[in-house]
Structure 1
């Protein structure tokens, strides 16, 4: 391929950041796609910037990219290389991009298209310290506007560079239970990050001036689980009990019993138990997990891949973060069981870039599991049972939570969804059969293999078995992550969280997140099951329960939802690219009094919403109208006579 590079060279620091990951081109590891780009083989790789273990290029990868000539040519290391530069420098220059492109034989225009796709990457010079202030739903309901006002008074408008720092508005940071939240970042070797949640005005100004403090000062995961210590907990029973950095402590509390049971039973029996348990996916689609695993395992094409989707970016969602921070070894054990059952030798854990502490703990868990024989070759002494995990960090793109967009991101392309069919179980990552599950779905599997599928199925309801994690935030007395059996009513869940604060009145509950629907105060006896939500015309989605009392400006919340979908649309298909913009414009006019709430703009909203639902490529466009529609039809918000 004849590649043309712009006249720009990398600095020594940029070159060092890239070469530490990909190897020095002078050493012969640059352009040859068959050479090693990492540190060691697929079982001892590691990246010094804290982004997790990266296996050597060419090890345990297979081939068959859906985008190229059917072989893996190193392009899948593009996202890690961009992270390496951004972590070290704080932005990605054209010279750094050129160096990455030469190393990976990627056309510069393609690499620029990928780098510019992600919100966390800067492609123009900016200070090394950046403060990301969440202005999404839960934080907006809990005072993020005051934080932004304070920062603007002290440092100027968002994006202004002052004293070696800048600040900017951010979509959801996944810390909704501790809203308002901000994420402090400082580039360097190594980069430093700190989650500020809840963030006070004085604290956030100090962080802006001095940079991130010690990340260990962040509150422990236990503080986000109000039920911590309850013996009835199943998925959360170790959070706050075990040391998340200790494999021995994890094993002392039942860890790796399930994997041992799986190895004794064999792949077919593992899939049977998961099927008998009637385990449904917890990411929103609610697809039967056993059927997905069986479909992947039966594919004759090799290799198979496992992907753990830990890119929870739905506003109001933080359940996977708590599991990864508080019980990381359970995620690694669950992935290992899934890989064994479906014939995968390689798994990718794709985690959102806004989760630095979870990333560090998972990287530590992988390293310890690998060192002790619970990961890698001949797992637990079983010859021929090989499975390893590679962490890939996202970089601020909600659309990458869609499974095929996630595949493209890992492969080094823009995170744009693919058309289906073919389904991922047939042609997924690198064009090979792939099973995708999110964190909550996977951590149910050890319970099934310890107590048996039929016993597991006796919890919950006939069609919705087991327990479910719900993320309560907004104006609720005790926000946090709650675990209840399927069939618990919404009223019972809100009572468990203390309801709305005293002297306040419940106005609405947003169930399922920005892509979900509103529930009225008179509908709280809704049973929290897949079928119950469907019958009520809403969805459980990813487990979001956003509570709004009478102090919350609901039209402003709807505008925030509309702007979120506008920003996060990948732009690939016209219905979503244009529809999300038109939806926000109409809401702006109606909420601002420039158009009657029951006039032509309402008709336009309905028409645009239906077109997005019917013809968008993926779930983002198909659900972008859901919350707005339910607010208008169920709450009367923006309609004549409705609440202002």
Structure 2
């Protein structure tokens, strides 16, 4: 890079940093803006960002290398990120990927000579109900076919913008057609329940909350027995109480909208159709724990909703539902900002999400201390997911007695389920907690399924014998994803897809997860190549248990679940592919050294 260009770049990056107040905690925002402006965050750019924010270069490079949508190498002006999830594979991913390569004239991982297009793989983008799907120029393109791909690439080359192509292909339903969204995504809201998707008066829950004391609000949430909807199921009222009582400086409310679990898309629909309810829940939580600041962490894949969500927030400020003296309550000052992610599944873990919001790599933290004790900038921080906060608002509005009528036992209320795969009616269903899987399969139109993945890859792979088990915290707990697999699906290929996902998304901090995900993937490859033995199955089970008990965070602790639960419920599938030998190496020396032989012109001799 010539010196004159470097000086010009220095001024431009300083200007970008200034838009974020030159704050180190806004590093993610700065690098995202640099990526958007230049199509990369190169080494010279990393140097200049480090200088502008007065922070060590290694911290900037660490962030750039961590997040999927940041790249040191140049991407195209219209980058294509094609989702490689298992559901996408089921719905024709192979043919769509081939069409992209043929239409663009490049392979995945490459950029066209004119730098217009680049092709990249990415993990699930929250569109499992309308696969195959891709992000093109930041916008989601769904229900892709080879014919659509050729039309899209032709349109981009003729100078059309991604938004113009979306308009041509047709926008989706509900608020996907809102002037600030205009997305081709469909909600596929198949069944609205009586809690989250019933009628809601903006401000009703907040006005009810401020008529009570914060302690009374927390007590009402406790009595409702509402539990975290992200999958772990921690009692929501108890979490609020811990945070309110925590010693420290300012308190913060975080809404975790980083749903990265493949097969999950409930947050997408809630944020599209009920954002006021979500923001109301955040504000009620802010009142309960004595916070003045709320942060919604929105995954990069949902950037197309950002302008719309910002508009909703501004309207709430105008209506007196955010800002100074919220809902007319003197002294209750609370506002919300949106923090964008940059592509990292691990940021769905609450401490990793907090690190990301502080401008760091999304590495999980050691616990204790827990975020309610020491979270954002070392302050007590409440982290709830989108559905939990929306449900909490309805609890406060209508009362605990109203809420516990829905659901059963310790699993009160309704649950949003995002259903995809082999069924006639994929989409979002709001159903009472405690329903058996078999009943849900009938509702969604799943015919003769051989398996269901409950809770996404980190959840449980169940067979027909377990379809009478119930979706609840006492049996099958789930953040919402149900992926249905028909009788003709190859379970081993699904498990391998999940193994690739976990290997790719491991943050690499701890050995059990970093190494374990690679070892499990290698074992699956060995078995699929016909070199597996009973010893390999035993080692997979042993390694999976080690990962579960010694990994640092939930990702590593659940990354072996696809192998462990299919070995438990579909063992015959593995047994049909292995050999009786005590040990087979699975290592091919010729293949391993083929590249070196080609480079040197020296080849192995057959014995």
Using structure 2 for the length normalisation, give the TM-score: 0.88
Correspondences of 1:8-23 after superposition (within 5 Å) = 10=6, 12=8, 15-16=11-12, 19-20=15-16, 22-23=18-19
Tell me the residue number matched to 1:327: 274
| Aligned residues between the structures | 557
In structure 2, relative to structure 1, the CA distance for the partners of 1:118 and 1:221 (3 Å cut) is farther
- Alignment partner of 1:157 is 2:95: no
Cα displacement string for residues 107-161 of structure 1 (whole angstroms, at most 9, x for unaligned residues): 1121011111001111112221111111102111111111112122332310222
Tell me the residue number matched to 1:256: 203
Contact 1:18–1:81 at 8 Å: present in 2 too? no
Contact 1:271–1:341 at 8 Å: present in 2 too? yes
Residue 516 of structure 2, aligned match among 556, 560, 579? 579
Distance 1:271 1:114 in 2: 37
Tell me the residue number matched to 2:141: 196
Correspondences of 1:171-190 after superposition (within 5 Å) = 171-185=123-137
Distance 1:317 1:172 in 2: 9
Contact 1:120–1:395 at 8 Å: present in 2 too? yes
Cα displacement string for residues 544-576 of structure 1 (whole angstroms, at most 9, x for unaligned residues): 100001232211111111111111111111111
In structure 2, relative to structure 1, the CA distance for the partners of 1:177 and 1:149 (3 Å cut) is same
Distance 1:511 1:363 in 2: 33
Distance 2:551 2:293 in 1: 32
Tell me the residue number matched to 1:31: none
- Alignment partner of 1:393 is 2:389: no
User: Gaps (5+ residues) in structure 2?
Assistant: 176-185, 579-607
Give the secondary-structure state (helix, strand or coil) at the position aligned to 2:544.
helix
Tell me the residue number matched to 1:522: 465
Cα displacement string for residues 310-368 of structure 1 (whole angstroms, at most 9, x for unaligned residues): 10000000000111112211111111111111111111111110112232322111122
Correspondences of 1:454-603 after superposition (within 5 Å) = 454-500=401-447, 505-533=448-476, 540-596=477-533, 599-603=534-538
Larger helix percent: 2
Shift of 1:97: 2.3
Cα displacement string for residues 190-237 of structure 1 (whole angstroms, at most 9, x for unaligned residues): xxx321111121222332341513456441357433435x5x442123
Contact 2:16–2:30 at 8 Å: present in 1 too? no
In structure 2, relative to structure 1, the CA distance for the partners of 1:14 and 1:519 (3 Å cut) is farther
Give the secondary-structure state (helix, strand or coil) at the position aligned to 2:346.
helix
In structure 2, relative to structure 1, the CA distance for the partners of 1:8 and 1:301 (3 Å cut) is farther
Contact 1:312–1:320 at 8 Å: present in 2 too? yes
Shift of 1:14: 7.5
Larger mean Cα displacement after TM superposition, 163-172 or 93-102: 93-102
CA RMSD of aligned residues (A): 2.2
Distance 2:503 2:213 in 1: 47
Tell me the residue number matched to 2:586: none
- Alignment partner of 1:100 is 2:49: yes
Tell me the residue number matched to 1:412: 359
Tell me the residue number matched to 2:600: none
In structure 2, relative to structure 1, the CA distance for the partners of 1:226 and 1:347 (3 Å cut) is closer
Residue 163 of structure 2, aligned match among 213, 221, 238? 213
In structure 2, relative to structure 1, the CA distance for the partners of 1:458 and 1:621 (3 Å cut) is same
Tell me the residue number matched to 2:596: none
In structure 2, relative to structure 1, the CA distance for the partners of 1:372 and 1:602 (3 Å cut) is same
Cα displacement string for residues 10-54 of structure 1 (whole angstroms, at most 9, x for unaligned residues): 57478446525524xxxxxxxxxxxxx44xxxxxxxxxxxxxxxx
Cα displacement string for residues 238-267 of structure 1 (whole angstroms, at most 9, x for unaligned residues): 6xxxxxxxxxxxxxx511111110111121
In structure 2, relative to structure 1, the CA distance for the partners of 1:511 and 1:342 (3 Å cut) is same
- Alignment partner of 1:621 is 2:574: no
Tell me the residue number matched to 2:196: 235
Residue 309 of structure 2, aligned match among 362, 365, 378? 362
In structure 2, relative to structure 1, the CA distance for the partners of 1:17 and 1:359 (3 Å cut) is farther
